[in-house]
Structure 1
């Protein structure tokens, strides 16, 4: 093959690749699209739209994330010390009205503590062991959040990751249904507007694909001698729905 022919093939391939990339970019950025599916004898025209629905709600549940870390010369001692402190934490939480059924262990770890020498030829030496026991405490009475934090810290908790304000499963399911209804109404309104503008008729939806977005609210809390103030805000649940309509 001559050098000129090779260059022509190279240029044609490059142009084809650029064209494919441009077509893909346009196809993925259009919020509304009209498609024709199937062979020419049985063509099915469709209109695809995206709807969004958002519902605001007050959280009905708080998750407090706590941990106890201990260190000792032996693994047994580190584990024993940790268990003793965690037992005191459980009792302190019970005294403010939080039962054991509301407390769940998130993680538990035991690891050696190494001492490293400055010279890289000496291997590290185990000088002790560290134990970390992390729990989460679920409460529905928000007036107990600050009290629970203070009681747990006074009992020996030395790590507070924060507080998550969230929705219970029952509340979240109810709000998701409301947001889905709003998203469908939004998509239906867009479809009717597009159909009217283009002079086509909506024959009905042939596919519906919902997507849900919900993020709990996370509040940081620090270990201090003062009473811990905690005030929840407002959560938002968003549903996106993609609906494909058959048109004529």
Structure 2
């Protein structure tokens, strides 16, 4: 008979097994461990949170313009230019500075009629001129819209609200984000028996973005306009996202 030598099973260090058991899935903030070998050197919480603040806007941006049609391209452009000059003058009279009025689009398109079994038939030309207007005094917003329509503007492509200086609102959101982050670290500490003892890394995302404009709309005829257009500014939401890594210990 021959004896077969048996190699003893490898021994696994208990701390390594415990460390592996504490790893969480990627779908939730993770309790991870880092190290250069199998004996992990540190236990960390990798967490994310966000903070929000709501603030009233102090400025608005309007995109509006003039569309004209004529039998010839020259006549369409001439009519458009004359009406747009009236719109510009109305904006300045309403208190909008020249630096806050900027041409954003100018188009000239041929207009055709399409009939079955016939080649397209040219019927005229359409000229379109769009301007972007920044209104820094929101008390003038409704009056500015009314003035432009009364002066000949026949397209309004939307109004968006914003902040001239978003720094204070962003800082308030940062404070809320850090509070939420610290509360989450404490919660995970209670749940796992570990305690966050040191902030290792902190990164930021998000920030202020102007409210998007509504869907484009066409201005009504002058006789259909109310005496004064009412526009509600509401509130803006400023959000800051933060990510952090905390060193944790028993």
Among 126, 132, 143, the residue aligned to 1:136: 132
Equivalences for residues 1-248 of structure 1 within 5 A:
27-30=25-28, 32-38=29-35, 39-41=37-39, 43-119=41-117, 122-168=118-164, 170=165, 172-212=166-206, 214=209, 216=211, 218=213, 222-223=219-220, 224-226=224-226, 227-248=228-249
Distance 1:42 1:219 in 2: 53
Kindly state the Cα deviation for residue 192 of structure 1 after the two structures are TM-superposed.
Answer: 2.2
SS in 1 for 2:87: helix
Cα 1:163–1:201, aligned 2, differ >3 Å: closer, same or farther?
A: same
Distance 1:118 1:209 in 2: 63
Equivalent position SS for 2:119: coil
CA distance in 2, matches of 1:219, 1:148: 18
Work out whether residues 115 and 124 of structure 1, in 8 Å CA contact, stay in contact via their aligned partners in 2: yes
Q: Which residue of 1 aligns with 2:18?
A: none
Given the superposition, is the C-alpha separation of residues 141 and 84 from structure 1 closer, same or farther in structure 2, using an over 3 Å criterion?
A: same
Unaligned residue ranges in structure 2 (runs of 5+): 1-23
TM-score normalised by L of structure 1: 0.79
Bigger shift: residues 101-110 or 85-94: 101-110
8 Å Cα contact 2:161/2:210 also seen in 1: no
Q: Deviations over 1:48-82 (max 9, x none)?
A: 12222111101000112211111222222222221
Q: Secondary structure at the match of 2:140?
A: helix
Higher helix residue share: 1
Q: What's the secondary structure of 2:141's corresponding residue?
A: helix
TM-score normalised according to structure 2 size: 0.78
Task: Report how many residues are paired.
Answer: 218
CA distance in structure 1 between the partners assigned to 2:194 and 2:113 by the alignment = 76
Aligned-residue CA RMSD in angstroms? 2.2
Q: Secondary structure at the match of 1:206?
A: strand
User: Deviations for 1:188-224, whole angstroms, at most 9, x for unmatched residues?
Assistant: 1211231243222324223323222545164687523
SS at match of 1:29: coil
Q: Secondary structure at the match of 2:46?
A: strand
Q: Which moved more, 1:216-225 or 1:204-213?
A: 216-225
Asked if 2 retains the 8 angstrom alpha-carbon contact of 1:59 and 1:232, the reply is yes
